């Protein structure tokens, strides 16, 4: 990617410098004259509603071996052996392909899901006596990707796997973001789960990675995952299965009544059939379930493998009512166009070696969404005031296109032992409103020795909850400080202001019950040297 910049050197911010949201002063003035304010609650049932979703790819903490059963387009099926961590990563597909990663996978699934939502189909199986529209009603639901995160946690691969424990640890944005957890637990038979239907803190699980790993299923797996996402989000927005329960919609009839032959033999009469494909070969005793097309359902809340699914008028009304009530906080916008959303990942701390080259400071912008132009700003800040630019201000100017993956060290001269504020602003010029996302980057000197040679550090417990205790042993009296930084929000919680610490073992306990759950980084400064450690709050 080629970026056209006015200058690659650091610039001094203007005296009236303020952090804006992706527009110049002139553009903001023009926008104020033409844009209309948007209600946070979409009261119009026909308005296109974009709800925020964040993807989490959870892998194991160690390699494991598993057989992969590949029965897509091959007969007989082929068994393949997988060795790896069991999910997409930030750098690859988790199976050796460095050209495809979790950021791209999340975008692909969201794109397929939105494509299906935009192509709502007419209901196949209809209730007698109900008047259905001649063409399928438009589906006003869409998703906007607001973040992609990666976690290593063996709990997701445990036989006693708990969805609630995972969501407690990694929830992003509380009641404003619907979290999608992509895991691959061999002990769970489901392809997905939608949870939190009646509450405001909604989340979804997809168990799809080992479908992707089957080479003959790979292209179809994206379509399947998009449809599964729609099905599970349907659950979280108050929709129920249609074939065997009362889903409170009279235009979604239950399945055909048939006589089931169970695996153990015999005959169970008067069962509801969930016909997800036309298949005269499914036996009955004597009534067969799926041997005629009128018995087959293409509804989103059934298990039809047909690519595009049907949402009925009643189901769309239930989704609208769910979002208009407590669920309105999930609505990102309802102006009918695809909103831009800035998100990037930047891993640190980064070791900066002025005497060596090259330096890599990767901005991973592949999960940024719907933008057609962007602007990057960098400056140095202090931990105590991360919003105040101190020095070294630089900006890229507005760039055309999507963000992608950028080595910021080719554009900006990073120095060791600094804290940098990095801002990404994006616009979709066809859709009003721009968006900004900010992360902090910590840099270290290459020659700084790592613990325990300079200061002994340990933290307990980890994961922590109501309290956090830090143990340290200093070889000499020097200034020591601690701060916790929430990995997703960049919220800084100072624990200990810079103060001398005596020689020898010390410990201190802090109350952390008021902190939000999630991933944290403990930043330690001792004798002018910086150390970091990853923590999780339950």
Residue ranges and CATH numbers for the domains of the chain are: 25-31+342-445 (2.60.40.10), 49-238+305-333 (3.40.390.10), 456-537 (2.60.40.2550)
Task: Taking residues 285-291, report their average pLDDT.
Answer: 88
Q: What is the pLDDT of residue 87?
A: 92
The whole model's pTM is what?
0.75
Residue 97 has pLDDT above 70, yes or no: yes
* pLDDT on residue 281: 87
Average pLDDT over residues 94-122: 92
Q: What is the mean pLDDT of residues 198-203?
A: 71
Question: What pLDDT is attached to residue 324?
Answer: 82
Asked if pLDDT for residue 189 goes beyond 70, the answer is no
pLDDT of 440 strictly over 90: yes
Q: How confident is the model at residue 194 (pLDDT cuts 50, 70, 90)?
A: low
Mean pLDDT of 201-222: 84
C-beta of residue 237 within 8 angstroms of C-beta of residue 231: no
Coil/strand/helix, residue 29: helix
Mean pLDDT of the chain: 82
Q: In the structure encoding, which two tokens stand for residue 481, read together?
A: 């400080």
Output the six-digit token pair for 220: 């179809």
Q: What would the mean pLDDT of 110-121 be, rounded to a whole number?
A: 94
Please give the pLDDT value at position 347.
83
Quote the tokens at residue 404: 């992608």
Three-class secondary structure of residue 525 per DSSP: strand
pLDDT at 285 (0 to 100):
92
Phi, psi of 310 (to 5 degrees): -105, 135
Please tell me the predicted confidence (pLDDT) of residue 238: 87
Average the pLDDT over 141-159 and give the result: 89
Nearest in space to 524 (alpha carbons), one of 474, 487, 466, 465: 474
Q: Which of 112-121, 344-353, 432-441, 475-484 has the highest mean pLDDT?
A: 112-121
Check whether 6 has a pLDDT greater than 60: no
User: Is the torsion defined by CA of 174, 177, 178, 179 positive or negative?
Assistant: negative
pLDDT above 70 covers a percentage of the chain that reads: 86
pLDDT of 29 reads 33
Burial annotation 115-134 (CB, 10 A radius, 16+ → b, else e): ebbeebbebbbeeeeeeeee
Residues of the chain with pLDDT > 90: what percent? 29
pLDDT value of residue 327 = 65
pLDDT of residue 114: 95
Residue 31 has pLDDT above 50, yes or no: no
- Check residues 75 and 20 and name the one with the higher pLDDT: 75
Residue 344's Cβ-count burial label (10 Å; 0-12, 13-18, 19+) is buried
Is the model's pLDDT at 278 over the cut of 70? yes
User: Between residues 462 and 57, which one has the greater pLDDT?
Assistant: 57
Please report the pLDDT score of residue 193 as a whole number. Answer: 63
Position 197 pLDDT exceeds 60? no
């Amino acid at each position: 990617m080629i970026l056209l910049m006015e200058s690659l050197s650091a610039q001094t911010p203007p005296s009236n410098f303020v952090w804006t949201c992706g527009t110049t002063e002139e553009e903001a003035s023009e926008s104020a004259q033409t844009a209309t304010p948007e209600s946070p609650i979409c009261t119009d049932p026909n308005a296109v509603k974009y709800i925020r979703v964040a993807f989490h790819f959870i892998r194991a903490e160690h390699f494991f071996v598993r057989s992969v059963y590949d029965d897509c387009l091959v007969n007989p099926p082929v068994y393949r052996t997988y060795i790896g961590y069991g999910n997409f990563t930030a750098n690859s597909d988790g199976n050796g392909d460095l050209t495809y990663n979790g950021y791209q996978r999340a975008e692909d699934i969201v794109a397929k899901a939105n494509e299906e939502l935009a192509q709502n189909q007419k209901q196949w199986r209809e209730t007698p006596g109900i008047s259905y529209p001649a063409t399928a009603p438009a589906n006003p639901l869409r998703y906007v990707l607001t973040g992609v995160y990666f976690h290593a946690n063996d709990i997701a691969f445990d036989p006693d796997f708990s969805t609630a424990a995972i969501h407690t640890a990694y929830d992003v944005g509380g009641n404003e973001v619907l979290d999608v957890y992509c895991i691959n637990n061999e002990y769970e038979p489901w392809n997905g789960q939608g949870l939190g239907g009646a509450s405001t803190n909604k989340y979804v699980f997809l168990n799809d990675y080992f479908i992707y790993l089957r080479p003959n299923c790979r292209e179809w797996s994206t379509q399947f995952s998009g449809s599964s996402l729609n099905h599970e989000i349907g659950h979280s927005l108050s929709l129920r299965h249609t074939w065997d329960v009362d889903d409170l919609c009279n235009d979604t009839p239950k399945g055909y009544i048939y006589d089931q032959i169970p695996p153990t033999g015999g005959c169970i009469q008067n069962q509801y059939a969930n016909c997800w494909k036309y298949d005269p070969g499914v036996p009955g005793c004597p009534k067969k379930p799926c041997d005629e097309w009128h018995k087959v359902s293409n509804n989103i809340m059934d298990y039809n493998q047909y690519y595009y699914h049907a949402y009925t008028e009643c189901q769309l009304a239930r989704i609208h009512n769910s979002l208009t009530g407590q669920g309105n906080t999930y609505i990102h916008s309802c102006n009918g166009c695809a909103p831009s959303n800035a998100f990037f990942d930047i891993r640190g701390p980064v070791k900066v070696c002025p005497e060596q080259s090259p330096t890599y400071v990767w901005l991973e912008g592949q999960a940024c969404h719907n933008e057609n132009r962007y602007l990057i700003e960098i400056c140095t800040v202090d931990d105590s005031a991360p919003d105040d630019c101190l020095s070294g201000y630089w900006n890229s100017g507005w760039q055309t296109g999507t963000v992608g993956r950028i080595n910021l060290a080719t554009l900006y001269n990073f120095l060791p032992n600094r804290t940098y504020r990095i801002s990404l602003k994006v616009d979709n010029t066809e859709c009003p409103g721009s968006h900004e996302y900010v992360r902090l980057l910590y840099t270290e000197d290459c020659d700084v020795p790592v613990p325990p040679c300079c200061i002994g550090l340990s933290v307990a417990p980890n994961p922590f909850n109501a309290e956090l205790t830090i143990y340290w042993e200093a070889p000499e009296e020097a200034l020591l400080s601690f701060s916790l930084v929430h990995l997703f929000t960049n919220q800084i919680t100072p624990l200990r202001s810079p103060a001398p610490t005596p020689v020898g073992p010390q410990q201190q306990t802090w109350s952390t019950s008021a902190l939000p759950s999630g991933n944290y980084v403990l930043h330690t400064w001792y004798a002018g040297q910086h150390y970091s450690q990853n923590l999780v709050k339950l």
